[in-house]
């Protein structure tokens, strides 16, 4: 197993493993929003192909595995945890998302590229930050709609 595959495996395994200790009530409450977040990130990953925002070595198979390791790993589980700790307090939610978006867009993005998970081409860290910050606002509103409908 090469380094990128090990990192992908760790990303998805550790992320999903943490959900074991998430209270069941929070899991049920935030599952729709986590799925919606996964759809948003999947959309970006799909658009990345024709616009050559980033590339993944190894062709389509590695691209799909790479995308799924992030979508079903840190983004899915991370959304659950962020909402578990912050929903209902927008300032705390916004601050935590701001910190996480900066971390992912800059130091983690740099690390993931050095580990050869992907290489940004027509996309810059500031674009990652802008997309994720926008997504955080969209999914916060979405969670309010979900809560209101229930």
- The token pair at 62 is 């590695």
123/48 Cα distance (integer angstroms)? 9
pLDDT tens series, the chain, 150 aa: 799 999 999 999 999 999 999 999 999 999 999 999 999 999 999 999 999 999 999 999 999 999 999 999 999 999 999 999 999 999 999 999 999 999 999 999 999 999 999 999 999 999 999 999 999 999 999 999 999 998
Output the pLDDT for position 1.
75
Give residue-wise pLDDT tens across range 97-111: 999 999 999 999 999
Which among 36, 56, 76, 53 has a CA at the least distance from the CA of 130? 53
Does the CA dihedral 118-124-99-19 come out positive or negative? negative
Share of the chain above pLDDT 90, in %: 99
Which residues share a beta bridge with 55?
119
117/131 Cα distance (integer angstroms)? 20
Give residue-wise pLDDT tens across range 32-53: 999 999 999 999 999 999 999 9
- The token pair at 123 is 């996309």
Output the pLDDT for position 148.
95
CA geometry: angle at 83 spanning 16 and 63, to 5°? Answer: 45
């Amino acid at each position: 197993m090469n380094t990128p595959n090990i990192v992908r495996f760790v990303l998805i395994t550790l992320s999903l493993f943490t959900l074991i200790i998430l209270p069941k009530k929070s899991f049920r409450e935030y599952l729709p929003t986590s799925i919606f977040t996964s759809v948003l990130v999947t959309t970006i990953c799909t658009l990345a192909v024709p616009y050559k925002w980033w590339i993944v070595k190894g062709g389509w198979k590695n691209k799909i595995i790479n995308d799924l390791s992030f979508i079903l790993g840190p983004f899915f589980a991370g959304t659950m945890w962020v909402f578990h700790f912050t929903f209902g307090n927008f300032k705390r939610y916004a601050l935590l998302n701001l910190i996480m978006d900066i971390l992912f867009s800059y130091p983690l993005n740099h690390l993931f590229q050095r580990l050869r998970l992907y290489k940004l081409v027509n996309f810059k860290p500031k674009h990652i930050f802008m997309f994720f910050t926008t997504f955080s606002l969209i999914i916060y509103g979405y969670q309010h709609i979900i809560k209101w409908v229930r």
